[in-house]
Amino acid sequence: MLKQKNVLLLWAGLQLGILLLLQQAFSGWIIGVFLLLLLYRVDSVLRNRATLSLKWVNLLAGVVAIALFVNLRQAGVLHFMLQILLLAAVARLLALQHLYEARQLVWVHYFLIGCCFILHQDMAIAMLVFGVFLLNVYSHYRLFAPTGAQLNWPQTGRAVLIILPLWLGMFLLFPRLPAFWQIPDANVAATGLGDSIDPGSIEKLVQDDSLAFRVEFDGPLPPRQQLYWRARLYEEFDGRSWHVAALPRTAARYTAPSAEADNDTATLSYRVIAEASRQTSLYALARPLSTSANVRLNAGDLISAPKPVSQRLSYQVNGIYGPPALLSAQEQQLNLAPGAGNPATKQFAAELLQQYPQPAQLVQALTEHFRSQPFYYSLTPPLLPGANSVDQFLFNSRTGFCSHYASATAVILRAAGIAARVVGGYQGGQWHPQQNYLAVRQREAHAWVEYLDNGVWQQFDPTAAVAPERILNDLDAVLPQAQRDLLNAGWRQLAFLQAARQQLMHLDYYWSVWVLGFNDNSQQQLWRQLKQQLPAIAATIAAILALLLLFAGSYLLKRRVPAGLPPATMLLQRALRPVLLLKTPSQPLSVYLQQLAISQPQHREWLQQLADVYEQAVYADRPQALMQLAALLKHRRQQIKQLRSSIKNA
Amino acid sequence: MSDLTLKQRLYQRYLAVIGRYLDKRQPPADRVTLVQKLIFILPTRYGWWFVLLITLLYLLGTNYQNNLILLLCYLLLSLFLLSIVLVYQNMRGLTLQCRTAPAGFASEKLNAVLQLSADKPHLMLNFSFMQQQHSVLMPGLSAELTLPLPAGRRGKYALPRIKISSQYPFGLWRAWSYVALAQDYWLYPRAEKMLQQHDDSPVADSGQQPQTQSGDILAPYRSGDSLRHMVWKRLARDPQNPVVRQQQFSPEAEPCWVVVTPATGEALERRLSHAAWQLLALEQSAQRYGLKLPGLTLPQSCGAAHLQRCLQELALC
């Protein structure tokens, strides 16, 4: 078995596949080392050369393990574990000698393949991982099958037919438990909005076409102007950039005041499938009131995950439309600091305040200002170096992106004595009517402003004043062709590729909803549905069972009485079945009966009579004899019973 | 020492219990077909490792709340469960038979030839006799199988139970069966020229034994030698080494009769060995010959069947 080239090559290929699937976890030099070891192994197999001795392999593995250990801090515990596992497998393959070692190898492969799913959850790659898994199952089979055995396809097909319902049934119905303990996570850079926002940060995000999250609404799709997905609140301003405040928002679980959920406010219910972002902050519309148990509802009406989102996460939100309420005086205080510098802006704010004492009026005037003055919306605004960047933007360049407008507006409002903050999140999304979901990409990242008015945080989007198309349509609609090309670089412009990509994305969406998003809630729902359908299911199963029994019964009956027997024999066999069990197949029935008559003196008379009548019925073929036989059997029922018991006791 | 014996005793006890159970479940039969009630299935050590793997993957999947790992875990679990059926299917329907009673001399290695038949392929079956180390692995199924029988003293023995086991296809479960076939095997007495005879050439091994004046042979006493042949004088001189006067039986009187005079113990064994040797020699020379045992006489005849009959009587003597 271990001498078989193709099995060894299969394992080398498997390990190469696992290495590529796990390459996120490995830095360049580690991949290089593993590749060298694998290439050496493949080369030695192809040229029929002996590999390294066990001693050398152990030495080599030891050195690599030490190097990996030194690298531990950089790689993180999870990646270190994966590296060590793969190292063990590769080293084992290098010095494979015994059958039990091969079994260990297959075992470790199974575990490594399982670990690939920590890093990859896309459908395409998941299919690839399952492919690698099947290869490993095949090599497992080869270990225990005779040398040179071929797969028996009909048998394999039957096995798959049995496994599939068993497998899916277990997945759907087996109780799902919450996580038992904290486990190490991958060290991967976070994506999406950061902890701070400066005029340039969202521009970078906008060039990223990857998916941020997808939403499925229980009701109709809200109008586009309502689709402000709040993710982060930036409340600290240092004169140039905005930061998430250190207010303890996630410390205690925040209970939303349910009294506000009046009957007349429209409610919102939706399911979000968030992509891995390695951040805790998640996305919500307006005012969430309750969520599924896997995420937390925080003060400020934000939703966060208990730990950084390292894989797709699906959560349900129920909420209402309406502005968030002010939480505390401390929050208000925090949002009044206009930051250092920007004297011209502060001056402008003071003038506006004199003119419009009410916050609502002031905001209206500001909208007018942005709309009437020559302000431009652009992906490539000029750089604004120096301390007074807001001044430069408002009075010089007047060309910017949502973060510029939001930042400037918040500074003006704060300078005018109105508490205001920048909200980071996503706006809009691409609606797929057939699949019934909204896809929100990183390029939909957006920043807007909330200001305090009458104790609630009113939403204000200055970008909508400058470029209303951005809010009503899509980013592409706002930008000139040159800037749009910047977004759709290279192959993305090909139409058919675009369409194929779209289809794949839909498939991936169902994958996320049905496979990745399956959780204890869905399971409970499934159980409930099963319970409702219980009578129907039970009836179906009973019907199938009855049919099967019928088939089996008729088959057995057919087999028991071979066709072509004379009717007298059948009659006798039916009546005397337990007695006839002792008869050897070669013995004729009548001879056996006569023998019985001798061995059982008390039954001699009728047994001999029976034998005579039987012989007449069979050999003379007289119909009267057959009737006589039936009558005799009926008449002697009592004796047959006695005979049966006396034979049994003998 | 006591520890070892305790262990051995426990093992013996276990074997006795198992033997009783098996005898009840499957009494020896001429032909045995492996059916559900004869096949036992338990996980192998690798199977337990596989269970550990599934548990680890379940923990991993639960802790990462990762459905794909859970899917993989359940897939492995269903594979594990399915392989119970597969390993059973691989065993079921095999028919064993032992048509001819194996027979041989006690000193030789004796093999049993079993006939196997099946209506579908059975792969990687392992055959051995119960409590025997030697096993035969059959990658595919052939019609005949040769298995070495345990060595022992002369006699007629029931064929030990045959252990058939298989781990195919995944090595996660071991299915095995102890099959008892209603067949005996014969161990004839070792065929060896033991006793000096008058008509033999004196070269053979006469030098070893001191001869007395009368032509009798003096030989060291073995248990079972008749006390009437004891050389009492020598016993008085050397009580540690009793010597007997070797009884000469007289086949020359009846040249075609193999005669075994009554004896017990070691002496009987020697006589039987010699008789076996004589029988073989007579059969080879194509003479008619008969066998006289204490209490039994087989009339003169010849041929393989007659030889077999005679040797069997020797084995039972």
Q: Where are the domains of chain A?
A: 2-173, 567-649
Q: Is the pLDDT of residue A264 over 60?
A: no
Would the ipTM clear 0.90, i.e. be above it? no
Give one word for A151, left, alpha or beta, with left for phi > 0 and alpha for psi -120 to 50.
Answer: beta
- Is A518 within 8 Å of chain B by CB? yes
Q: Tell me how far CA of residue A297 lies from CA of A216, A271, A304, A322, A614, in angstroms.
A: 19, 15, 7, 16, 90
Chain B residue closest in CA terms to A176: B62
Over residues B295-299, the mean pLDDT reads 85
Minimal C-alpha gap between A176 and chain B (Å): 8
**Cβ proximity of A308 and A76 under 8 Å:** no
A176–B69 C-beta distance less than 8 A: no
pLDDT attached to residue B206? 34
d(CA A409, CA A386): 19
What are the beta bridge partners of residue A302? Answer: A298
Mean pLDDT is lowest, of A69-83, A197-211, A281-295, for A197-211
Say whether pLDDT at A432 is over 90. no
**Quick one: pLDDT at residue B198?**
42
Query: CB distance from A78 to chain B under 8 Å?
Result: no
Q: Residue A195 contacts by C-beta under 8 Å, 6 or more apart in sequence? A: A232, A243, A244
Cβ separation of B139 and A147 shorter than 8 Å? yes
Is B75 in Cβ contact with A163 (below 8 Å)?
A: yes
Whether A146 sits inside 8 A of B123 (CB atoms) is yes
**pLDDT surpassing 60 at residue A305:** yes
According to the model, what pLDDT value does residue B195 have? 64
Is B85's Cβ below 8 Å from some Cβ in A?
yes
Contacts of A114 in chain B (CB under 8 A): 57, 60-61, 69, 72-73
pLDDT at A212: 86
CB contact under 8 A, B74 and A133: no
Closest CA to A184 of A64, A304, A72: A72
Contacts of A311 in chain B (CB under 8 A): 64-66
Query: pLDDT category, A609, cuts 50, 70, 90?
Result: confident
> Shortest CB distance from B62 goes to which of A113, A129, A177?
A177
Mutation site, A81, A122, A171, A307, interface B, largest B CB count within 10 A: A171
For the beta carbon of residue B85, count every other beta carbon within 10 angstroms. Answer: 14
Which residue did the predictor score with more confidence, A108 or A124? A108
- Put simply, the answer to whether A311 touches B64 (Cβ < 8 Å) is yes
State the best of A104, A160, A170 to mutate against chain B, taking most chain B CBs within 10 Å: A170
Chain-chain contact of B85 with A162 (C-beta, under 8 angstroms): yes
Distance CA B245, CA A362 (A): 140
* Band of residue A136 on the pLDDT scale cut at 50, 70, 90: very high
Distance from CA of A619 to the nearest CA of B (A): 34
Q: According to the model, what pLDDT value does residue A250 have? A: 45
Nearest-CA distance from B101 to chain A in Å?
A: 23
Interchain CB contact of B26 with A (< 8 Å): no
Least confident of A54-68, A628-642, B234-248, B281-295: B234-248
The residue length of chain B stands at 317
Q: What is the pLDDT of residue A188?
A: 54
In A, minimum Cα distance to B140 occurs at: A146
What is the predicted pLDDT for the residue at B87? Answer: 93
Token pair in block for residue A174: 């087996």
pLDDT-derived band at B212, boundaries 50, 70, 90: very low
A350 and A362 Cβ atoms separated by less than 8 Å: no
Distance CA A168, CA B20 (A): 44
Interatomic CA distance for residues A114 and A167, integer angstroms: 16
| Interface with B, mutate which of A167, A519, A522 (most B CBs under 10 A) | A167
Q: Which strands, in side-by-side order, build the sheet including B111-117?
A: B31-33, B95-97, B111-117, B144-148
Find, in chain B, the residue whose alpha carbon is nearest to that of A183: B63
Distances (CA, A) of A241 to A190, A458, A588: 19, 22, 107
Range name among A542-551, B98-107, B254-263 with the lowest pLDDT average = B254-263
Q: How confident is the model at residue B213 (pLDDT cuts 50, 70, 90)?
A: very low
B167 in contact with chain A, both atoms CB, cutoff 8 A: yes
A491 touches chain B (CB under 8 A): no
Average pLDDT over residues B84-108: 90
- CA-CA distance, A433 to B128, in Å (whole number)? 68
Question: pLDDT band at residue A85, thresholds of 50, 70 and 90?
Answer: very high
Check CB contact under 8 Å for A166 and B85. no
Lookup result for tokens 């004899």: A625
Looking at residue B263, what is its pLDDT?
82
- Please list the residues that pair with A159 across neighbouring strands: none
How far apart, in whole angstroms, are the C-alpha atoms of residue A609 and residue A605?
A: 6
Cβ burial of A405 (10 Å; 0-12, 13-18, 19+) is buried
Interface check A143 vs B, CB under 8 A: yes
State how far the Cα of A209 lies from the Cα of A441, in Å rounded to an integer.
6
pLDDT band at B173 (very low <50, low <70, confident <90, very high): very high
For A181, the token pair is 């303990």
Query: Known catalytic residues of A?
Result: 402, 446, 461
Q: How confident is the model at residue B34 (pLDDT cuts 50, 70, 90)?
A: very high
Compute the half-sphere exposure of residue A135: CA atoms within 13 Å on the CB side of its CA.
Answer: 21
- Mean of the pLDDT values across residues A474-498? 62
Are the beta carbons of A146 and B65 separated by less than 8 Å?
no
Residue of B71, B82, B89, B123 best to disrupt the A interface, most CBs of A under 10 A? B71
Judged by CB atoms closer than 8 Å, whether chains meet at A118 and B169 is answered as no
**Long-range contact pairs involving B288-295 (C-beta distance under 8 Å, separation at least 24):** B288/B256, B289/B256, B289/B257, B289/B258, B290/B256, B290/B257, B290/B258, B291/B257, B291/B258, B291/B260, B292/B257, B292/B258, B292/B259, B292/B260, B293/B260, B293/B317, B294/B260, B294/B261, B294/B262
| B232 interfacial to chain A (CB closer than 8 Å) | no
pLDDT higher than 90, residue A89: yes
Check: CB of residue A270 under 8 Å from CB of residue A207.
Answer: no
Q: In A21-134, which ranges are E strands? A: none
Query: What's the average model confidence in pLDDT over A535-561?
Result: 86
CA–CA gap between residue A143 and residue A138 (Å, rounded)? 9
The answer to whether residue B204 scores a pLDDT higher than 70 is no
- Chain B CB within 8 Å of residue A1 CB: no
Residues 6+ apart with CB under 8 A from B159: B28, B98, B102, B112, B149, B180, B181, B183, B184, B185
Task: Tell me the two tokens of residue A156.
Answer: 């394999």
pLDDT at A547 over 50: yes
Average pLDDT, whole number, for chain A?
Answer: 82
B137 and chain A in contact, CB less than 8 A: no
Confidence class for position A481, pLDDT limits 50, 70, 90: low
What are residue A448's phi and psi, to 5 degrees? Answer: -145, -170
Contacts with A177 (C-beta within 8 Å, 6 or more apart), sequence order: B62
Closest CA to A117 of B71, B170, B50, B112: B71
Neighbours of A280 (CB within 10 A): 18
| Residue A163 to chain B, least CA–CA distance (Å) | 6
Instruction: For chain A, say whether B14 makes contact (Cβ under 8 Å).
Output: no
Q: Do B65 and A177 touch (CB under 8 A)?
A: no
For the cut 70, the answer to whether the pLDDT of residue A493 exceeds it is no
B33 touches chain A (CB under 8 A): no
Residue whose tokens read 């009855």: A546
Q: Inform me whether the C-beta atom of residue B170 falls under 8 Å from chain A C-beta atoms.
A: yes
Mean pLDDT over A369-387 rounds to: 79
Contacts of A516 in chain B (CB under 8 A): 67-68
- A181/B167 CB distance under 8 A: no
Q: Which one has a higher pLDDT value, A87 or A259?
A: A87
Judge: A145–B49 Cβ closer than 8 Å, yes or no. no
- pLDDT bin (cut points 50, 70, 90) of residue A261 is very low
Please indicate whether residue B228 or residue B182 has the higher confidence score (pLDDT).
B182
pLDDT score of A137 more than 90: yes
Q: Who among B74, B82, B124 is closest to A159 (CB)?
A: B82
CB of A442 within 8 A of CB of A192? yes
Helix (H) / strand (E) containing A543: helix A534-560
